[in-house]
Structure 1
Amino acid sequence: MTDSHETLRDIAFVGRLLREAEEGRAFALASILATRGSMPRGASARMALLADGTWLGTIGGGRIEQQMQERCQHVLAGEEPNQLEWMTHAKTGMACGGDALVGVKLWEPTFAKDVLGDLLEHLRSGKPFVITEHWADLSDVTLELASLDELPQGDPRATTETTLWDEESKTYAEPAGPDPIAYIFGGGHVGRALTPVLASVGFRVVVFDDREGVAVSGDFPAAERVVLGDFTKLDEKSQVTSRDYVVVTTHGHAWDIDVLEQVARVHPAYVGCIGSRGKAAFARKTLKERGVDPTWVDEGIHLPIGDPILAVTPPEIAISIAAEMIRCRAELRPASERPHQH
């Protein structure tokens, strides 16, 4: 799946919409349900128009977004009913040449409170589930949630890693669950600069440091959690999995190597470590001497970390690291959900 940023898997996005509903205000929601060919955003992208004219999210910009903004305005004003339409490149005139199926629905406060409240509970549970939307009757578009064990045996929604659209039944399904975590081991200058950058592009960030004066939650407002722990005993305070992302930028190369040795046991989706080419050679040699899989040491660690943009300052280094992580995240998606090259 694509990352959850500005989708119905995004806790912050859903929470903002729920607050609107709780205050008695309706909103219009535009949703990309399927695509053909190259499009700037894929299925699951959402854009909401609030009662005060505020826009949340994006479905890709350009002419398609402009057209859907107009539709949202009409739907929210009660001038048009809910809509479902294939926006072909002939209609949008967009140079990317692809098509997108976009649904626009008015979310009344009562409906939104019930659905979004339930959705937030599912998202916070940490367990996988499926969002299913039924668009056959545009006067009564519905959304339901189901845990995987509630689905019938053989249901394709139980095993899919991508969104599904069934044209005949006009049914959309989206797998949901906890996003991977981006662990930043080391909360110094680079860690502090990197945290808000990663959070802004859809990563759930956990900062881990062994210094009381550094592992301070108030200094990392964009982090989901800040952990004070021992770099030699990560398992005591964190649970890195094979789906997670790891950035190693501690306050000493010995700690960096200790962290790398421990995360090697689970082979995270991404591992990067700050340091020079000289440090990289030393770290790889030491890890192999400690019995870490040589292939993983040579191929599984981005060391030196970051895209080579000649970064020097902590903010510049943070951008280079985030760029590399975004690329790696995109490369892990199914080919059908990878973005086209901008």
Structure 2
Amino acid sequence: MSIPGSRLLETARADAPAVWVRVEHVQGSAPREPGASMLVHASGEEGTIGGGHLELKAIAQARRMLASGERAAVTDFVLGPSLGQCCGGAVELTLRRIDARETPWLEALVPLDREAGTVWLDTRVGAVDAPHTVASVVRPAGAALRRPAHGVLRLVSRVDGAPWNVWVFGAGHVGEAVVRVLATLPLRATWVDPREDRFPAGLPANVTVLESDSPAHEVAAIPPGADVLVMTHSHGLDFELCVALLAREDLGLVGLIGSETKAASFRGRLARRGVAPRAIARLQCPIGAPPRGPGGRHVLDRHPGAIAVAVGFDLWERHRVAAPAAAAPDGAGR
């Protein structure tokens, strides 16, 4: 997972200093992709940049920055024998101190958790009092180091908005298992349920919980392109959610937990409600990995963990196929 802007802002406002470690550029094979990030506190970490010696070295450098007051740095690592890793590639990391002084630019960054677009985070490296600024100017992809006239290194980082959003309706045993699997992927999960005290504590930073008396009314707030999973405690609520979701043509997957018998029942009820056949055809039920049984039928497993793994795999495959890497602007590269 990567650390969302909202979590960085929360850290800054709490004024509990941390260091944001981010993969900026990769050459060859590497554990994580550009944009992957983690947050290092004095006594712990959130997220991952791939584990192994690379991550341990980055954590150690981040802790030194916390102790010294250094505000920004850039470090290159070759993933060879010296790090005990055999990837063979090279990784460039940026490290930025997050505390109360960073609140202004983080407030400008947070909307990217919900909106499309690209901004460039422009940081002066090497000056203790270096400010951070967010600009909406498109520049070559990847990290770019340059030396201004006054001799202070300058780091420009690309931050992309409109992340992969997945909404999950239902906080039962299956819903919790699914959300915990999804939280390990590079996405933003929104978890909705009308019941009080259904959400566990200690959820990852990329999971937002929404306790709503009327979950179907929350459908209007779902960002375009988001994937949606319906698995509430009530078939009646499941149905009303499906009606509301299928009325929107700008969503990704609309998935409903259940058997093929439930799928047939819901499709019949949706037709009687007046939902167009084209919209009904968009409803995916059952959900999860592709059919594996005789005759192409879904092989159902009622274990929450098994369902969660199947659903996570299916969503990841759909996302990977539908979202090829965007082309870099002209002149990109190093």
TM-score > 0.5, shorter chain as reference: yes
Matches within 5 A, 1:44-193: 44-51=35-42, 53-78=43-68, 83-90=73-80, 92=83, 94-105=85-96, 107=97, 112-116=99-103, 118-120=105-107, 123=110, 131-134=119-122, 137-139=125-127, 142-146=131-135, 151=136, 155-156=137-138, 164-166=142-144, 170-176=155-161, 180-184=165-169, 186-193=170-177
**Native 8 Å contact 2:122 2:132 kept in 1:** yes
Question: CA offsets per residue over residues 241-291 of structure 1, 9 Å max, x none?
Answer: 432221122456565455334322324222211122333345456656745
Paired position in structure 1 for 2:199: 220
Matches within 5 A, 1:1-342: 5-7=1-3, 9-16=4-11, 18-19=13-14, 22=15, 26-51=17-42, 53-78=43-68, 83-90=73-80, 92=83, 94-105=85-96, 107=97, 112-116=99-103, 118-120=105-107, 123=110, 131-134=119-122, 137-139=125-127, 142-146=131-135, 151=136, 155-156=137-138, 164-166=142-144, 170-176=155-161, 180-184=165-169, 186-199=170-183, 201=185, 202-208=187-193, 215-221=194-200, 224-229=209-214, 234-235=216-217, 238-250=220-232, 256-264=238-246, 265-284=248-267, 290=274, 292-294=276-278, 297-298=280-281, 300-307=282-289, 311-335=301-325
User: How big is the shift at 1:323?
Assistant: 3.8
Distance 1:194 1:226, change over 3 A: farther
**Native 8 Å contact 1:199 1:205 kept in 2:** no
Query: Which segment drifts farther, 53-62 or 235-244?
Result: 235-244
User: How big is the shift at 1:113?
Assistant: 0.9
Residue aligned with 1:228, SS: coil
Distance 1:132 1:41, change over 3 A: same
Distance 1:196 1:217, change over 3 A: farther
* Sequence identity percentage: 22
CA RMSD of superposed structures (Å): 4.0
What TM-score does the superposition give when structure 1 sets the normalisation length?
Answer: 0.68
Distance 1:164 1:319, change over 3 A: same
What TM-score does the superposition give when structure 2 sets the normalisation length?
Answer: 0.69
Paired position in structure 2 for 1:340: none
Separation in 1 of the partners of 2:54 and 2:244?
47
Instruction: Give unpaired runs (5+ residues) of structure 2.
Output: 147-153, 291-298, 328-334
Q: Which AA in structure 1 matches 2:11?
A: R
Residue aligned with 2:221, SS: coil
Q: Which AA in structure 1 matches 2:120?
A: T
Residue aligned with 2:101, SS: helix
